């Protein structure tokens, strides 16, 4: 292993990819040694001094550890573009979040953020629709969008699934989605579910006069099958697919985005399993980095957490995720380990708040997120005392109250569905 990766006077070049890490060296290992090995192992080097790495090649490709803060355990590394296949998320992650996570020399290591140079941004399509295109799909511009997840998560027949979707749509949902673990089970096969649920959506559109979207989960055993499922939806006139981004994998996501360039399909990114990497603040990968990669590849909307619901994610994290989805320019925030990012021509994504939500939480969500958010309610609709349709209606009533800045109690006094929700979940 070379010993010259640390250069704290070095100024990253505009065309370099910069990473910020949180690092704890292993006991008895100096911070500098751990930094040096991390930079080498993530790029051109390995544990001993290899004769096959010429000084010239090392000079040409070596990364620079240009910032070290031992007190906070923060390390910043500038990587030369030539180290990467710059349009491949799998390869980029294999470098900057691969072997180094396993090194004995570190006790903990977390990839906090990645700042992409222009050439990398220009190697990706980014969202096809993005936040504003999603609004155009619905023709709704002045309020948050309301969605539901059909519950139970799995178990319903395709017919029953479509019926729950229909009731959710006519009750007021803009969006009905599959749950993350519903794909192609025997009791609810993909090809049958998508057809009859899209029919139910169209029926609800005619009855309500509102545009509705069904987000069918195309997560599949192979890329070929995933893409076939996307084609089926496209051929049926569906406008959305949903994909489980972590379990499907980064190559699948890039293949999907290439395919949707020739379809009229928006992509909803579910992040189940992200917590394997993102939950531990001292080891793994920050959800911010995963969100940026999802936007780079080109998904139109992404789950970012709720602060008030059932899943982990504090306000700083969730609002940073919202900003990374929705802003064209993300300012650096040293305290939150956020690197500056100018997104150039990469469109913003629509943030999705979901997980443990019920109608009574909407004013707080609206105060936090404003109108540019999709609020999703699973049990918050399907556990409503008056049933699914009333649960959806209660959500729309709560949105109306928030927009008009009327207290829920006052609004509920002449809106029984909201009243019933407040009584149940207080
Ligand atoms: O099905 C749900 C929520 O159902 P419910 O509304 O019944 O809790 C989603 O999978 C979670 O929101 C995922 O969490 P996250 O959005 O944090 O990834
Ligand atoms: Mg779910």
Secondary structure element (H or E) that encloses residue 167, with its range: helix 158-171
- Secondary structure in 3-state letters for 347-358: CCCEEEEECCCC
pLDDT in tens, 289-346: 999 999 999 999 999 999 998 899 999 999 999 999 999 999 999 999 999 999 999 9
The rounded distance, in Å, linking the Cα atoms of 132 and 334 is 29
The rounded distance, in Å, linking the Cα atoms of 352 and 23 is 30
Buried (b) or exposed (e) across 129-168, using 16+ Cβ within 10 A?
bbbeebbebbebeebbbbbbbbbeebebebeebbbbbbbb
Give the tokens for residue 222: 């192979």
Q: What is the pLDDT of residue 127?
A: 98
Q: What is the pLDDT of residue 134?
A: 98
pLDDT in tens, 45-68: 999 999 999 999 999 999 999 999
The rounded distance, in Å, linking the Cα atoms of 328 and 345 is 8
Q: What is the pLDDT of residue 337?
A: 97
Q: Which atom of ligand 1 is nearest to the CA of 379?
A: 7
Radius of gyration of the chain (CA): 23
Q: Nearest residue CA, atom 17 of ligand 1?
A: 305
Ligand 1 centroid distance, CA of 35 (Å)? 37
214 pLDDT more than 90: yes
Q: Nearest residue CA, atom 4 of ligand 1?
A: 378
Q: Which atom of ligand 1 is nearest to the CA of 274?
A: 18
Asked whether 294 and 269 are in contact (CB, 8 A), the reply is yes
Q: What is the pLDDT of residue 310?
A: 87
Residue 308 in contact with ligand 1 by CB distance below 6 A: no
3 pLDDT more than 90: yes
Residue 147 in contact with ligand 1 by CB distance below 6 A: no
Q: Do the domains spanning 17-122 and 130-425 agree at the CATH topology level?
A: no
pLDDT in tens, 364-420: 999 999 999 999 999 999 999 999 999 999 999 999 999 999 999 999 999 999 999
| Ion ligand 2: protein residues whose beta carbon lies under 5 Å | 179-180
Q: Nearest residue CA, atom 12 of ligand 1?
A: 355
Average the pLDDT over 95-103 and give the result.
98
Residue 357 in contact with ligand 1 by CB distance below 6 A: yes
* CATH number listed for the domain at residues 17-122: 3.30.70.150
Ligand 2 centroid distance, CA of 278 (Å)? 18
Ligand 1 centroid distance, CA of 268 (Å)? 13
Could you give the C-alpha distances from 49 to 2, 44, 244, 248, in angstroms and in order? Answer: 6, 11, 42, 38
Q: Which atom of ligand 1 is nearest to the CA of 272?
A: 18
- Kindly name the residue from 64, 76, 80, 151 that is annotated as catalytic: 151
Q: Which ligand is nearest to the CA of 357?
A: 1
Q: Which atom of ligand 1 is nearest to the CA of 270?
A: 18
Q: Give catalytic status of residue 151 as yes or no.
A: yes
Would you state the CATH architecture of domain 130-425?
A: Alpha-Beta Barrel (3.20)
DSSP helix/strand/coil, 260: helix
pLDDT band at 426 (very low <50, low <70, confident <90, very high): confident
Q: Give catalytic status of residue 270 as yes or no.
A: yes
Of 274, 305, 378, 381, the residue with max ligand 1 atoms within 8 A of its CB, to mutate for a pocket test, comes to 378
**Is 158 annotated to bind ligand?**
no
169 pLDDT more than 90: yes
Ligand 2 centroid distance, CA of 411 (Å)? 29
Q: What is the pLDDT of residue 177?
A: 98
The rounded distance, in Å, linking the Cα atoms of 378 and 426 is 17
Average the pLDDT over 357-370 and give the result.
98
Q: What is the pLDDT of residue 204?
A: 98
Give the tokens for residue 125: 């399509």
**Is 303 annotated to bind ligand?**
yes
Residue 192's CB is within 10 A of a number of other CB atoms, namely 15
What residue ranges do the domains of the chain occupy? 17-122, 130-425
ipTM of the complex: 0.97
The rounded distance, in Å, linking the Cα atoms of 348 and 128 is 10
Residue 74 has phi, psi (to 5 degrees) of: -105, 130
What's the mean pLDDT when you consider all of the chain? Answer: 98
């Amino acid at each position: 292993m070379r010993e010259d990766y640390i250069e704290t006077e070095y100024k990253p070049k505009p065309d370099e990819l910069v990473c910020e890490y949180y690092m704890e060296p292993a006991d008895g290992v100096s911070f500098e040694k751990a930094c040096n090995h991390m930079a080498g192992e993530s790029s051109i080097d390995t544990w001993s001094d290899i004769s096959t790495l010429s000084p010239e090649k090392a000079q040409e490709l070596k990364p620079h550890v240009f910032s070290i803060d031992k007190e906070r355990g923060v390390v910043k590394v500038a990587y030369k573009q030539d180290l990467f296949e710059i349009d491949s998320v799998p390869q980029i992650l294999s470098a900057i979040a691969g072997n180094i996570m396993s090194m004995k020399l570190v006790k903990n290591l977390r990839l906090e953020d990645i700042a992409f140079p222009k050439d990398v941004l220009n190697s990706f399509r980014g969202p096809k629709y993005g936040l504003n295109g999603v609004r155009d799909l619905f023709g709704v511009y002045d309020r948050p969008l309301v969605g539901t997840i059909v519950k139970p998560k799995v178990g319903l027949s395709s017919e029953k699934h479509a019926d729950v979707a229909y009731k959710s749509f006519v009750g007021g949902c803009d969006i009905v989605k599959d749950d993350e673990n519903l794909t192609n089970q025997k009791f609810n096969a993909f090809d049958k579910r998508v057809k009859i649920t899209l029919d139910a959506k169209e029926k609800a559109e005619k009855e309500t006069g509102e545009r509705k979207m069904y987000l069918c989960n195309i997560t599949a055993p192979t890329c070929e099958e995933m893409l076939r499922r996307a084609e089926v939806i496209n051929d049926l006139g569906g406008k959305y697919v949903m994909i489980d981004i972590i379990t499907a994998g980064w190559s699948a996501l890039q293949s999907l985005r290439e395919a949707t360039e020739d379809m009229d399909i928006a992509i909803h990114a579910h992040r189940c399993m992200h917590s394997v990497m993102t939950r531990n603040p001292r080891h793994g990968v920050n959800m911010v980095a995963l969100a940026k990669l999802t936007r780079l590849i080109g998904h139109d909307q992404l789950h970012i957490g709720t602060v008030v619901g059932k899943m982990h994610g504090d306000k700083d994290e969730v609002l940073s995720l919202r900003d990374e989805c929705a802003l064209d320019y993300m300012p650096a925030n040293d305290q939150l380990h956020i690197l500056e990012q100018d997104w150039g021509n990469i469109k913003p994504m629509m943030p999705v708040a979901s997980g443990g939500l019920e109608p009574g939480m909407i004013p707080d969500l609206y105060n936090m997120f404003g109108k540019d958010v999709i609020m999703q309610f699973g049990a918050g609709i399907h556990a409503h005392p008056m049933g699914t349709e009333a649960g959806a209606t209660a959500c729309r009533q709560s949105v109306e109250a928030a927009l008009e800045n009327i207290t829920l109690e006052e609004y509920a006094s002449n809106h029984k569905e909201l009243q019933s929700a407040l009584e149940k979940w207080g």
